[in-house]
Amino acid sequence: MLSDAGLAGALIGLAVGALNRWIILRMVQQYVQAVDDASPTDEERATFAARTRRFRRFLVAKSLVVFPIVGYALGEAID
């Protein structure tokens, strides 16, 4: 059964995950701007975009799934 402490923990985990995602994406954005300044070839840009796309998918999954689950588990443990 869902408890209030578990749900509160899941919401806190979701907020922490969103904050984590925002911070990491800002760091990646700064790196992308540095790479663009070096003006790589089109092939290098395509490879980098593919890697970034996979990384962003992983980051969204972690932010929306892993952090809330950990928060829920911690909330249940406290309750």
Residue range 17-39, pLDDT digits in tens: 999 999 998 998 888 777 766 66
In a domain, 50, yes or no: yes
Of residues 64 and 43, the one with the higher pLDDT is: 64
Q: How far apart are CA 29 and CA 76, in angstroms?
A: 36
Type and span of the H or E element at 62: none
Report pTM. Answer: 0.76
Question: Does residue 32 sit within a domain?
Answer: yes
70 or 30: which carries more pLDDT confidence?
70
Q: How many domains does the chain have?
A: 1
- Please indicate, yes or no, if residue 52 is contained in any of the structural domains: yes
Q: Residue 2: inside a domain, yes or no?
A: no
Amino acid making up residue 36: D
Domain of residue 16 covers 7-78
Q: Confirm whether 1 is domain-assigned.
A: no
Confidence at 49, pLDDT banded by 50, 70, 90: confident
